[in-house]
Structure 1
Amino acid sequence: MARLWVCAAAGAGFFLASLVLHSRFSGSPVLRNLALQISWKREKILYRLDLDWPKYSEYFTGATFCVAVDSPNGLVYIAQRGDNIPKVLVFSEDGYFLRAWNYTVDTPHGMFAASTLQQQSVWITDVGSGSFGHTVKKYNSFGDLVQVLGTPGKKGTGLNPLQFDNPAELYVEETGDIYIVDGDGGLNNRLIKLSQDFMILWLHGENGTGPAKFNIPHSVTLDSVGRVWVADRGNKRMQVFDKVTGEWLGAWSNCFTQEGPSAIRFTPDGKYLVVAQLNLGRLSVMAAPPVGNIGDCSVISTIQLPDQVQPHLLEIDSKTGAVYVAEIGAKQVQKYVPLNNHIHALGG
């Protein structure tokens, strides 16, 4: 069996991340059925699984929904769901557990670390139905609540005051401007841009299939040339907007005929997008489009995970290019490291 996996890893078009899952999968149908999931399609292999991250996986005690990377300070935040467990875990970038906290977090969905060398902060979208739910909240690295957007415990569609219903994810620019996708199957299907003092700059907020309309907007990110990308999961596409005006620039759908994207992030050099598809258990590396031309998506490389792993959201370290994937089915976060030629391309 070991020899089979060596041959598969060498000859397959993608690296099977599931070769060495954590011990909780040992002997399970997931592991036993891996041999059926080898693809021989030849593609570039850009990443390898970091088998030493984290150092101890027993800290994962719930369903891991999201991950955020504080690159300036070398920290990795993970949010998990479950009863009587710490909702947020903090690791070092080399995999050592540092601390945990469980304050004013009900049901985490998305995270983003908006840190500098002077200030460490992490934002969490909370989709819970309890007293902390339907909010977007900012914390320091020790779990102290700094800012709350939305009406805690009350879902809604209002803009003044601002209300959310199952806010899925956010992205915070260095300027402090905030992009929020709201919601994950709730009342709202909208993309909101807020200023650093939380004023609405522009929004697209209608359910539908046309341009600038959404069906479960699930992930949001920015590229290096001022475009906002949204994983429009229910519509099986990604939509692209101008970050200043909010103008709709185009959409990608040709890569998502089977399932829509659940997560999207750019590599530090801006050349690639890494995209997760939850139920397909797939990570795809796609070529970023040139300025002024969205065109169609082109898959450069894929990482196929086994059934039931369910990659939900992901984050990329802006310094090293490492990809961290929160897997709600496997109840773990895995780290993928760029191969040497790719690291060089990233400037590392």
Structure 2
Amino acid sequence: MRKVWVCVGGAVFFLSCLVLHSRFCGSLVSRTFSFDISWREKDPLFRLDLDWPKNSEYFSGATFCVAVDSLNGLVYVAQRGDNIPKVLVFTEDGYFLRAWNHTVDTPHGSYGHTVKKYNSLGDLVQVLGTPGKKGTGLNPLQFDNPAELHVADTGEIYIVDGDGGLNNRLVKLSQDFMILWLRGENGTEPAKFNIPHSVTLDTVGRVWVADRGNKRLQVFDKDTGEWLGAWDSCFTEEGPSAVRFTPDGKYLIVAQLNLSRLSVLAAPPPGSVGDCSVISTIQLADEVLPHLLEVDRKTGAVYVAEIGAKQVQKFVPWHSRTPAFGA
């Protein structure tokens, strides 16, 4: 049975997220489709799938996170709000399957500051951190507004902890939840953070962190935690709120929340972080607010959780067979 992880934050900032262990294995209420694509190459990379989801009426809160079970063709959406389902499950074709709500704390709630593991049916399996108690401790491990996590193919867990809270750190855990290494504290220097908001791995063993408050991406070695470099030239207007790689490892997809923008960046070669290069951008409608995103490792589809528009939009590779733009 597939496993699902959920980060639950505290009282100041909302967070994400929901990441599948198996992977691993315009109105602000109505749906908002308006966007503009500015391409810097001849062949566009992505197009909007207007047929996803089939059942948008199930979006009833602020959709702050999305995760994909590529093996089973499932898409999990996490949303916040009172008296609503906290997790929605769709097929990759956009059909609604089910919702679950058990023991999922609402971000900004008084019972946050935890990372929780669920099976795919919503049964609670594991809790890390102390519900309702923020902290900096390592034994036992405590959190304050954990923002997102990433589970590697090998089972190690990378957590960015500190979406405006006490902590500004990146933690690597083993499969049995032992701390392997920890990096970061509040600051602007290398390996320090100001609101680390998203984390992912590339195909050559580097950990990428969206250091949102410092307007940069920082890069670390996944085995040692060594700082390898940073990108800031692409984020002069606003820092990145989410980062993911395309399945082939050639591109990074980055979201900028208040700009309502997605950017496609060229991934650096092995052995060098290099400089940031924007290949293309997707300008979403005003106030859509893309918070976090996920990439389907099988199809390459990009799912974007938009807290302003209260929806998830799906962008597919341009040459895929999935209909787009109403075609």
Give the TM interval when normalised to the shorter protein: 0.7 to 0.9
Deviation for aligned residue 1:65: 0.1
The percent of aligned pairs where both chains have the same amino acid is 80
Q: What are the ranges of 5 or more consecutive residues in structure 1 without an aligned counterpart?
A: 1-20, 108-126, 344-348
Distance in 2 between residues matched to 1:50 and 1:141, nearest whole Å: 25
User: Equivalent residue for 2:290?
Assistant: 311
User: Equivalent residue for 1:241?
Assistant: 220
Q: Are 2:110 and 1:130 equivalent residues in the alignment?
A: yes
Please state whether the residue corresponding to 2:127 is helix, strand or coil: strand
Q: Are 2:268 and 1:269 equivalent residues in the alignment?
A: no
Deviation for aligned residue 1:128: 3.8
Q: What are the ranges of 5 or more consecutive residues in structure 2 without an aligned counterpart?
A: 1-25, 323-327
Cα distance per residue 1:56-92 (max 9 Å; x no partner): 1100000000000000111100000111000000001
Cα gap change, 1:42/1:196 in structure 2, threshold over 3 Å: closer, same or farther? closer
Q: How does 1:185-264 map to 2 (within 5 A)?
A: 185-264=164-243
Preserved contact between residue 38 and residue 282 of structure 2 (Cα < 8 Å): no
Cα distance per residue 1:13-44 (max 9 Å; x no partner): xxxxxxxx789448xxx88xx6xx86766545
Q: Give, as a single letter, the amino acid of the residue that structure 2 aligns with 1:288.
A: A
Preserved contact between residue 90 and residue 97 of structure 2 (Cα < 8 Å): yes
Please state whether the residue corresponding to 1:58 is helix, strand or coil: helix
* TM-score calculated relative to the size of structure 2: 0.87
Deviation for aligned residue 1:153: 1.2
Candidates 300, 314, 319, aligned match of 1:340: 319
Q: Are 2:174 and 1:175 equivalent residues in the alignment?
A: no
Q: How does 1:89-108 map to 2 (within 5 A)?
A: 89-107=88-106
Distance in 1 between residues matched to 2:210 and 2:145, nearest whole Å: 15
Distance in 1 between residues matched to 2:206 and 2:72, nearest whole Å: 27
Q: How many residues align?
A: 296
Cα gap change, 1:230/1:339 in structure 2, threshold over 3 Å: closer, same or farther? same
Please state whether the residue corresponding to 1:214 is helix, strand or coil: coil
Distance in 1 between residues matched to 2:91 and 2:269, nearest whole Å: 35
Preserved contact between residue 29 and residue 310 of structure 2 (Cα < 8 Å): no
Distance in 2 between residues matched to 1:42 and 1:247, nearest whole Å: 33
Distance in 2 between residues matched to 1:147 and 1:215, nearest whole Å: 28
Preserved contact between residue 265 and residue 314 of structure 1 (Cα < 8 Å): yes
Q: Quick check: which one's helix share is greater?
A: 1
Q: How does 1:56-75 map to 2 (within 5 A)?
A: 56-75=55-74
Q: Give, as a single letter, the amino acid of the residue that structure 1 aligns with 2:57.
A: E
Candidates 141, 161, 168, aligned match of 1:162: 141
Distance in 1 between residues matched to 2:68 and 2:212, nearest whole Å: 23
Q: Give, as a single letter, the amino acid of the residue that structure 2 aligns with 1:193.
A: K
Aligned Cα root-mean-square deviation (Å): 2.0
Distance in 1 between residues matched to 2:28 and 2:304, nearest whole Å: 18
Distance in 2 between residues matched to 1:341 and 1:290, nearest whole Å: 26
User: Equivalent residue for 1:149?
Assistant: 128
Please state whether the residue corresponding to 2:57 is helix, strand or coil: helix
Candidates 273, 276, 299, aligned match of 2:278: 299
Candidates 324, 327, 339, aligned match of 2:303: 324
Q: Give, as a single letter, the amino acid of the residue that structure 2 aligns with 1:223.
A: D
Please state whether the residue corresponding to 1:295 is helix, strand or coil: coil
Please state whether the residue corresponding to 2:102 is helix, strand or coil: coil
* TM-score calculated relative to the size of structure 1: 0.81
Q: Give, as a single letter, the amino acid of the residue that structure 1 aligns with 2:207.
A: V
Cα distance per residue 1:149-192 (max 9 Å; x no partner): 11111111111111000000000012110000001101100000
- Bigger Rg over Cα: 1
Q: Give, as a single letter, the amino acid of the residue that structure 2 aligns with 1:308.
A: E
Deviation for aligned residue 1:130: 2.5
